[in-house]
Structure 1
Amino acid sequence: MLAPATIEIIKSTVPVLEKHGTAITKRFYELLFDNHPELLNVFNHANQKQGRQQAALAGAVYAAAQHIDNLEAILPVVRQIGHKHRSLGIKAEQYPIVGRNLLAAIQDVLGDAATEDVIRAWGEAYGVIADAFIGVEADMYEQAEKQEGGWAGFRAFRVERKVRESEEIASFYLVPADGKPIASYAPGQYVSVKAEIPGEPNVHIRQYSLSGAPGKPYYRISVKREDAAADRPAGKVSVYLHETVGEGDVLPLSAPAGSFTLDEGDRRPVVLISGGVGVTPLAAMLHALAERNDPNRPVAFIHAARNGDVHALRKEVEELASGRSAIRAYWCYEKPTERDRAAGAFHQEGYIDLNWLRRIVPTKDAGFYFCGPIPFMKAINRALLEWGVAPADIHYEFFGPSGRLDD
């Protein structure tokens, strides 16, 4: 328990964190990697360069400061981050390292404003926050290892099949190299892939949604090749998987993790909305819903792509919808090709908007799940809130560090 005076000091720093949070976390990562370069084998370098990791940590620190007197209020965020930490292999003994470098970053950025009382208060508060994460993650490690077919750390999987799904996306069917059973997973979860790329000084770990049906003797991930663009470098791991990894090769995988999952207890209609490679977790959800085939639970599967050339898993989704009266699939193409037009391959041109959603979705009293590029998710979130969908019925997943959809 923190003393009232400590809580008061932490809460007094909330405006400071709002203003300087990203600068503090940027400095934190500089110090962390200078002092502990081995942690470059854990963190996504591209997210560092783009500032996404710094912004996500700043948001988490800000939320913790706001709710320091009631950390239970941020338990959903703790669990979400905990899933990512467990899948990456973050250990309890690394938390003090983080704490020391975070306090040093606060001092560096705030200067004289970081008084002894402020640093002491934040040291105490960090200990409480770290204990919350360590406790949640310890349970997750135990569950991952002790479940049927589960394991600790990373386990070798062999690429049984590699299938091109579109011009940008390829699927990898992964079977355990030891031939033993594998853990099941909740539709929407992901695995971490550890890539040791020739010529790279560090190991790279990336998280990819499981895109197939649970309960199979294999896992399937569907990976978009991320080429370099003006605002981002090429994706080291995605390019490696597309160009170098083939059938018969071995990849280390973590056990499935993630909190973006289908609510099995909700019997209302379901609306699955995806953009680009965001289709992957929603395809797994659709598989689960198709298997149950509840005629009284309508399912709308809505996917946005630039055009038919980059539209992955279309045939698979259409086969799942075929013969199941409760499932309807809809396609929105931003810039359809002439082939798309000639084939009548899409239902909406341009972007998914509220008017179209209202026409194809019979009710806003449903569970809404969406995933895709951040601008896409912001637009979907705005549309749903404008429609009056209850925030509790809106579920989404960020690929990479979490962010905000309301800015």
Structure 2
Amino acid sequence: MTVERMLHTPEAEQLLDLTGEIVDKELAPRASQDEEEGVFPREVFRVLGGAGLLGLPYPGEYGGGDQPYGVYLQVVEELARGWLAVGLGVSVHTLSCYPLAAFGSEEQKAALLPAMLGGDLLGAYCLSETASGSDAAAMTTRAEPVEGGYRLNGAKAWITHGGEADYYSLFARTGAPDSGARGISCFHVPDGTPGLGSAPPERKMGMRSSPTAGVLLDDVGIGADALIGEEGQGFGIALSALDSGRLGIAACAVGVAQAALDAAVAYSRERRQFGSAIGDFQGVGFMLADMATQIAASRALYLSAAALRDAGRPFGRQAAMAKLMATDTAMRVTTDAVQVFGGYGYTRDFPVERYMREAKVLQIVEGTNQVQRLVISRHLAKEGS
């Protein structure tokens, strides 16, 4: 199905054409089997990095693509249409680059960003803990100052690329245990640092090709130059990063929903009952119309939020709205796609059951949709409508 693009330049058109080619030739044909077997496609991220797709919204001087955020998000959507594990992986990697790109020193950027943006390295974002998921300010992982740097102890939970990442953008408490949001700092921790380990991957209902695991820190020694920004600035960095990351999740959700709609439309044309294609019956045709409308509205909402970000204007409320609407839409659309397929939709012979399982996690990651409603309502109480 042809999707209307919101493009800025011929270069953006070429990037999306390239992404679509990679999706159709490299990702979509292998997604179902690799998901079934739980294969993590690490080499795909190197291919995407070589194609210039891992650093799109970051400055060219550090190896990024100098692209508007709206263009980057459309690339993420297209990747998620072919394989959510890859689209989400690119979104998480981009999120992991954000603290250093936005708050790092010039020396840190020059030393680290080119490899992070060029595809040689894959990142992870370490904020959540077992007892402090939505309440990130309650984290207990500590970074104790020592001579020449810090010593990290604790554990992070639900980390995408945990155990597979080449570096971790990690948040830990440098203040007193009761210091709340004010006592959190951000660090760049390379894989292979002594004392850094990971728990076994979580056994998930979907997204089996995207490893999610706890990250364990046992007297992990890092230098003072691993601190990103200033001590105590970490919580602000985390919230700022999540505003952008939520738009990545919204784009992933639209991609999954689009894949489900494409499959449902194609099936509705082929499947015949009572002498007609099932898509000719209003019960199915109206369902498809609602699915297409919800997807288009969700896409417009994330692109609208991205336009605010690109213009340097506040976009946190709109990012929460986009994440909320797009992921709820993905859940509805994938559920309806299974219904269009009938009994076949409940089998693994068709991809819509996988899309339905994958859509569920998007309502949870990077802030549950209940948290998004809280964010939106707080903005309304403070700013009005």
TM-score, L = length of structure 1: 0.25
Q: Greater helix share, 1 or 2?
A: 2
TM-score, L = length of structure 2: 0.25
Query: Which structure would you say has the larger Rg?
Result: 1
